[in-house]
Amino acid sequence: MKANNRNKRQRHYRINPETLQLERIEHGIRYWLRRSGGYIIGGICIGILFFYIFLYFFPSPREASLMQYNKNLTAQLRLMDQKVDQMQLVMSDMAQRDDNLYRAILGAEPIPLTARMGATQQISYYDSLAHMTNDQLVADVQRKIDILEKELYVQARSYEEVLELAKNQEVRMENIPAIQPVLNKDLKRMASGYGWRVDPVYHVRRFHEGMDFSAPIGTDIFATGNGVITFVGWKQGYGNTIEVDHSFGYKTRYAHCSKLIARVGQKVKRGDVIALVGNTGKSMGPHLHYEVHYQGRPIDPRNFYFYDLSPEDYDKMVQLSSNMGNMLD
């Protein structure tokens, strides 16, 4: 009975439009092959789907180990990134103290930021790192390490230079021009200071690169620091002139002299008489024109009279040297 029912269910019929009678449809082997193939393919697809779902929620022991390793590696990279950030803060503080304290005290030029940072790897190098696992974090840490490595190198060289400067500090202090070039204890010989002044000949404002000390012809002119005479002779506008190289980037010039005593190549010490005050060159009266140059640039001489003036006299001298009147040359 059950077998007959199954046979009936498996049979298919259709109505013949001409005879209006039911006719059994006979299926060939192709029909059954297509039908079986559909079931098989559907079953395979469902199986693959369930397989991937299983793998996603239930990774294999090897995959689970790799995932845990990746998490640990990411945590280590983030910790390394934080440590590198802290090291960069320390390095930045060291660089600021180096430029604003150590190098400033010893008279060395600050190191430019571009030199401290240096040229890091090309951008393409970091872009290639960005395709690795934990891409952006790896590239960022590598970039910071490269910059830090360059900064450490520059800072080490800077400390070597500062150490050498400290060793030479005693010699440097003896060489720096640190006294007035003529006797001027009462500060009455201050004629004109450094800065914009009115030219006595052309009556126009121009920059005065030194200080003028009025004094009688024949007054002694002193070397303001230890050094070597590099020029003795006539200079256009300056008249009879002597120039001294004090090393460490400092040079001094003494102009309008009546007599030049020192000779080229002669070593002089602070306080040695090297010339006499005169009225040669473009000059409106007997006086000494005195300049201080550092690294090839003229600077204000009044910043260097700290050996022969008290704090009170120095303040008074600063006020007198700020006089905006006429120059003598």
Domains of the chain, by residue range, sit at: 2-57, 74-167, 190-321
Stated as kind and residue range, the H or E segment containing 298 is: strand 297-299
Identify the pLDDT of residue 83: 81
Q: What does the mean pLDDT of the chain come to? A: 79
Separation between Cα atoms, residue 317 and residue 307, nearest integer Å = 14
Most trustworthy range by pLDDT among 15-19, 182-186, 259-263? 259-263
Cα 121 to Cα 11: distance, rounded to the nearest angstrom: 78
Residue 120, pLDDT score: 47
**Which of 10-19, 80-89, 217-226 is predicted with the least confidence, judged by mean pLDDT?**
10-19
Name the more confident of 125 and 141. 141
Rounded (10°) CA dihedral 101, 102, 103, 105: 70
Q: Decide if pLDDT at 279 tops 50.
A: yes
Q: Which position has the token pair 């005479």?
A: 229
Mention the CATH class of domain 190-321. mainly beta
**How large is the average pLDDT for residues 167-181?**
85
Q: State the pLDDT at residue 298.
A: 92
What DSSP assignment string belongs to 226-288? Answer: SEEEEEEEEETTTEEEEEEEEETTEEEEEEEEEEE-S-TT-EE-TT-EEEEEB--SS-SSSEE
Q: 27-41, 97-111, 280-294: which has the highest mean pLDDT?
A: 280-294
Report how far residue 247's alpha carbon sits from residue 180's, in angstroms, rounded to the nearest whole number.
Answer: 19
Q: How far is CA 8 from the centre of its chain?
A: 93
The pLDDT of residue 267: 96
